[in-house]
Structure 1
Amino acid sequence: MEGNRDDLMRIIQSRYPKLSKGQKLIAEFILKHYDKAAFLTAAKLGSSVGVSESTVVRFAIELGYEGYPELQKSLQDLVKVKLTTVQRLELTHNLVDTENALKGVLKADMENIRSTLEKINEKTFDEMINAIFEARNIYIIGLRSSNTLADFLAFYLNLFLENVRSVHQGYSDIFEQMIKLNEKDLVIAIGFPRYSQKTIEALDFAKERKAKVCAITDSLLSPLAARADYSLIAQSNMASFVDSLVAPLSVINAVIVSVGMKKKEQVGEVFGILEEIWAKHDIFN
């Protein structure tokens, strides 16, 4: 990751002498504040250094990008794993209109789902579903902000599979919970920037035990994907200091539905029994 950053910075430095006066101002700003520049629109970046939006676009093209969005994405890929929550909070006003946060966040989430739909690999998705049915035991781990996603997946898979284990940090060490893991098992790991070190260590442990690993994460460059046999990529670009997990949740929904459709009869029986239990014990209003 650091090497990628240095490559981009070297490109900017090598092109610097040939840049126009306005483009040099942009280059200097990015070299000094690339973490902030990554989350500025072309218009706001131009305003920050005193040049027009079109100058920013031409600067991106001069670096070899098709346009500013491609340059911005390269910058975001470099910094999003390193930003602290405080830094995210400082950048939020650049990502979301404070006067209309509702629409800003919803639009960002819609874009994350659209991008995920375009990029996700259906063959990998099918291979993961097959791996779920082939596994002796399925271990699901997602820590910190990904914990909710992991619990959601485990909750529904537990309704119609008998071999699902949810791995949590706290009441016992994660390695103790995975002590019987072997090559017949599958680990499903969920993680997004900033990636939990414990999740990464759990996957290293899984690989040592020769278990199959599936990652639900944001990029093939993710440390989870680097350790996985199957990687489902879900866009999670943040719209604020809060992680955007809408697209990952949609992918997890698809996993649950796909598994459920393959066990249609069992699912019908389970929910029939559950409806009787819910009615008997007044679970729902």
Structure 2
Amino acid sequence: MNGDGARSVLDLFHGARLTPTQRRIAHCLVEHSGKAAYFSAAEVADLAGVSQPSVTRFAMALGYEGYPALRRRLRDLTGDDSAEVPAAGGNAMQLAVRAEAEHLARLHDQLARLDDVERAARLLNESRPLPVLGLRAAAPLAGYFGYFAAKVHPDVRVLDTGGTPLLDRLDQARAAGAGAMLAVVLPRYPRESLDAIAEAKRMGYAVVAITDSAVSPVADHTDVVLPAAVGTQLVFDLHTGPMAMAMVLLQAMCDAAPEPAQRRLEEFEATAARRHIFTA
């Protein structure tokens, strides 16, 4: 299904109060939006890692009599009554990479509307300092974003370790003038990340989140959600989509304040040349 179709499936869950298990089911249907209308309840349960009765309860929570009624609605949204397309051939590694390409294609369609990205960029540009939260699996991506963001933002603070010092660092950044925070929250959604976001909101932060789905657990507790699917076909998740989203966001930050960004980049290049930091 194209990006519009995926957004149509996502609209089914808009405003619904879903349990964590139901969020997993919703995420599964969005991720497999091109084929979801042809899945049985048992297949959805298997893909989402939940029980079959949970799929039935999920459909009823959305106001349908059961999963068959929800599946009919999904078919209406696809506008396609054809049989399911057989899976393309290839080994497990090729299929995992192909799935990543499909995720990026959906991200491409999603970025036809840049309202959320541009709003997020404005919030983060205006924050001095700028905390960037990323724990466990999200820590490398937070560091990656922070490394490049520091070249165009005067004070980036990467928060990639948990424990009580994490909240101390949020307090310190807020006292120094921080008004917004970027949070990278990826499956399996560390509880400490969610707790830190809740505490940041109580402190008065605006929170921008890069996460894997618009129905991830962080979605209801942030000001702007920038979803980008992760790959789940290998032993460990592939984060190609969230990394691309992080760089898109950083580009939007540069576009929103081009003169300061260019000036800081030129200053960095001059310093790098003087110190012989790079060989090429």
Q: TM-score range by the shorter chain?
A: 0.5 to 0.7
Amino acid at match of 1:267: L
Cα distance in 2 for partners of 1:256, 1:119 equals 17
Is the CA contact 1:160–1:270 (under 8 Å) kept in the aligned structure 2?
no
Letter of the 2:94 counterpart: K
In 2, the alpha carbon distance for the partners of 1:157 and 1:246 equals 18
Q: TM-score, normalised by structure 2?
A: 0.66
CA 173–112 in structure 1, closer or farther in 2 if over 3 Å, else same: same
CA shift for structure 1 position 200? 0.4
Match among 242, 247, 263 for residue 265 of structure 1: 263
TM-superposed deviation, 1:136:
2.2
In the alignment, the residues of structure 2 paired with residue 35 and residue 96 of structure 1 have an alpha-carbon distance, to the nearest angstrom, of 23
Task: Provide the rounded CA distance (Å) in 1 between the counterparts of 2:240 and 2:108.
Answer: 12
3-state DSSP of counterpart to 2:192: helix
**Aligned partners of 1:62, 1:214: CA distance in 2, in Å?**
32
Q: CA deviation at 1:4?
A: 7.3
- 1:149 paired with 2:141, answer yes
2:220 is equivalent to residue 245 of structure 1: no
Please give the secondary structure, in 2, of the residue aligned with 1:275.
Answer: helix
TM-score by length of 1: 0.65
Gaps of 5+ in 2: 1-17, 26-37, 50-66, 79-86
Select which of 57, 71, 76 maps to 1:63.
Answer: 71
Change in CA separation of 1:96 and 1:141 when aligned onto 2, cut-off 3 Å: farther
Specify whether residues 173 and 61 from structure 1 end up closer, same or farther in structure 2 by C-alpha distance, changes over 3 A only. same
> For the Cα contact (< 8 Å) 1:140–1:188, is it kept in 2?
yes
Deviation (angstroms), 1:176? 1.4
Shift of 1:220: 2.3
After the TM superposition, which residues 32-51 of structure 1 pair with which residues of structure 2 at under 5 Å, given as runs? 34-38=44-48
- Secondary structure of the equivalent of 2:237? coil
State whether structure 2 residue 180 is matched by structure 1 residue 186: yes
Instruction: Please give the per-residue CA displacement for 1:212-235, whole angstroms capped at 9, x wherever unaligned.
Output: 110011222222221111111112
Q: Which residue of 2 aligns with 1:116?
A: 107
- Structure-2 change in CA distance of 1:4 and 1:104 (3 Å): closer
Q: CA deviation at 1:273?
A: 1.9
TM-align CA RMSD: 3.4
Q: What does residue 274 of structure 1 align with?
A: 272
Aligned partner letter, 1:114: A
Query: CA 1:264–1:3 in structure 2 vs 1: closer, same or farther (change >3 Å)?
Result: closer
Q: How far off is 1:172 after superposition? A: 6.0
The count of aligned residue pairs is 217
How far apart in 1 are the matches of 2:190 and 2:244?
21
Q: Could you say if the C-alpha distance between residues 179 and 275 of structure 1 is closer, same or farther in structure 2, counting changes exceeding 3 Å?
A: same
TM-aligned CA deviation for residue 162 of structure 1: 1.7
The corresponding residue for 2:95 is 104
* Aligned with 1:199 (options 171, 184, 193): 193
Give the drift of 1:125.
0.5
Maintained 8 Å contact 1:136/1:163: yes
- In structure 1, what is the Cα distance between the partners aligned to 2:169 and 2:184? 17
* Greater C-alpha Rg: 1
Cα distance in 2, alignment partners of residues 165 and 244 from structure 1: 25
Change (3 A) 1:198 1:62: closer
1:230 paired residue number: 224
Please say if residues 131 and 186 of structure 1, whose CA atoms lie closer than 8 Å, have aligned partners that are also in contact. Answer: yes
Are residues 204 and 275 of structure 1, via their aligned partners in 2, closer, same or farther at CA, if it must alter by over 3 Å? same
Which runs of 5 or more structure 1 residues have no equivalent in the other structure?
9-22, 40-58, 71-94
**What is the distance in 2 between the residues matched to 1:141 and 1:163?**
14
